[in-house]
Structure 1
């Protein structure tokens, strides 16, 4: 049974994975992911090396795994090892068959449904813990939320690096090249400046149907701030989860040149007119705007939410650092 005491030490709200530590063949592993979506218990080759176990101990297998990068992966083999979870006097030791794979991963091991069945444990992603019965009492394995976030950040960083390398390989300016050239199509008969782009290699029949569809639904496009009236608060409302005890920060006013001031005033007037923003007479938080030069020479106005981000629980799905500057414009 889960109680409020099980919430102690956990930062809420969260969407973190359950990462635990356990002793495997006498070696303590601290980055073990518990994943009920995995049909096998997986041990990564790097962890096998850390335990000092030779590849010769592996038994060959003809099965293959699916899910690593969307493709199929051939395991190196299978090995049976003892694993001990929990702490004394409620430790539980069992023998598990691990599928060994040579794959780069921030985790050392993935415990799947076989582990859940053999240990007869109950998992809670809310409380980030496992519970199991042993000798008539309940044993608990608490997850390491900090380690879970560290592993996720490592995986996200590696993904971004691979994407960046792929982009640099495709284009000198760091952007991927277009698969095909695009042609502009006017979708508004009243305003020829309202255009969208479609692929130039589309067949005439398909292109005709697509253009017809776009023109018949031209009213769904937002060409200016006034075309985006927003959502009534009775339908949806967003609230920032500020940490308890966080002190509001009023950033010192930044100075800009005349060109930047004019761009800021223009953008603020647009947002005020559209009802996107309103004047706050007694603000607890004050964040400066930040201007970023776009490729067409115009300015994009963003907001520096660095201090506000620090006062909020860490995002379980971190984005690149540039996303700390929240864009206030469309496009």
Structure 2
């Protein structure tokens, strides 16, 4: 007796229960590892990270797909990590990617950024790139007697162009903002920004964080500047409460951010994110 042929079912729903979630730290935003058909080859161990804005292909995968280096197109923008390190790419290549099986199948042409390094653990090789020569600049005083109101222009300009440029800048001083008070803002009658917060989400009030004395002083100074300029105001009975974050700049000063991670979770994700902003 021959056992009946069991056809593989591809329309079965994939579901998870409480047992599958045991041991997983909540809330979680874990990536997926899947298999796709790329350029006619079944390519395994593809990491799908919904927090990434670029599709990456490594040297080993590039070689196993037998791709010609001539297909690479120039791509000059490097990846910059939070630590400031830069990852320089070899180029961008367009590949044919197929997902699923017939009749539920989709084929698309996708652009992959080629990281020609042997590492596949996301510890990319950092290559040093010679910095382009930058034109020397000179400082120009736009308001006589006020050394704080200056700007810089190139030193290779002809005398005639330099005089015209300086005169043009002095005639348009209103476009410069040397302090918070100089930024008057835009009237709400012209444009207004409103957060699209999900009404079903419960407001989050973060617990107050304790900072060292140096950080506290930097926060106080920045808040006082914003209060004086009228950018912020004190409110009571607030529903959302977020702490600030300090990041040290190259010049040794502090830059202050607001930890909006809880608020961002309550807002729907943008269907058209910007992967790169120049």
Normalising TM by the smaller chain, what interval?
Answer: 0.5 to 0.7
Equivalent position of 2:218 in the other structure: 263
Provide the rounded CA distance (Å) in 2 between the counterparts of 1:314 and 1:219.
37
Q: Using the alignment, how far apart are the partners of 2:125 and 2:231 within structure 1?
A: 38
2:273 maps to 317
Runs of at least 4 residues off by over 3 Å: 105-109, 158-161, 164-168
- Counterpart secondary structure, 1:302: strand
Report the equivalent of 1:49: 40
Matched, 1:211 2:166: yes
Match of 1:280 in 2: 235
Distance 1:104 1:264, change over 3 A: same
Instruction: Answer yes or no: is 1:221 the counterpart of 2:176.
Output: yes
What is the CA distance between 1:238 and its match in structure 2? 0.3
Q: Measure, in 1, the Cα distance between the counterparts of 2:115 and 2:191.
A: 32
CA contact (8 A) 2:39 2:95 kept: no
Q: Unmatched 5+ residue regions in structure 2?
A: 1-35, 43-72, 76-91, 99-105, 117-123
Q: Deviations over 1:133-161 (max 9, x none)?
A: xxxxxxxxxxx9xxx9xx8xx97xx4999
Q: Which moved more, 1:310-319 or 1:282-291?
A: 310-319
RMSD after superposition: 4.2
Instruction: Note the C-alpha offset of 1:187.
Output: 1.1
CA–CA distance in structure 1, aligned partners of residues 257 and 127 of structure 2: 25
Q: Does 1:170 align with 2:126?
A: no
- Shift of the alpha carbon at 1:206? 1.6
Match of 1:252 in 2: 207
* Distance in 1 of aligned mates of 2:40 and 2:240: 51
Query: In the alignment, what sits opposite 2:246?
Result: 291
- Conserved? CA contact 2:247–2:254, under 8 Å: yes
The 3-state SS of whatever aligns with 1:197 is strand
Assess, with a 3 A threshold, how the Cα gap between structure 1 residues 166 and 226 changes in structure 2: closer, same or farther: farther
- State how far apart, in whole Å, the 2-side matches of 1:249 and 1:282 are: 13
Deviation at 1:224, TM superposition (A): 0.8
Task: Output the CA distance in 1 between the equivalents of 2:126 and 2:134.
Answer: 15
- Is 1:181 aligned to residue 136 of structure 2? yes
Distance change in 2, residues 1:241/1:194 (3 Å): same
3-state DSSP class of the match of 1:269? helix
Residue 98 (structure 2) pairs with residue 104 (structure 1) = no
CA distance in 2, matches of 1:308, 1:191: 42
Taking the aligned partners of 2:166 and 2:127, their CA distance within structure 1 comes to 31
| 8 Å CA contact 2:39, 2:96 repeated in 1 | no
Kindly tell me: are residues 105 and 260 of structure 1, through their superposed partners in 2, closer, same or farther at Cα, counting changes over 3 Å?
A: same
Q: 1:3-82 counterparts in 2 under 5 A?
A: 47-50=38-41
Distance (Å, rounded) in 1 between the aligned partners of 2:175 and 2:93: 44
Aligned mates of 2:183, 2:228 — CA distance in 1: 12
CA distance in 1, matches of 2:115, 2:250: 22
The C-alpha deviation readout for 1:264-303, integer Å capped at 9, x for no partner, is 1111111111110111201111111111111221111111
Aligned to 1:5: none
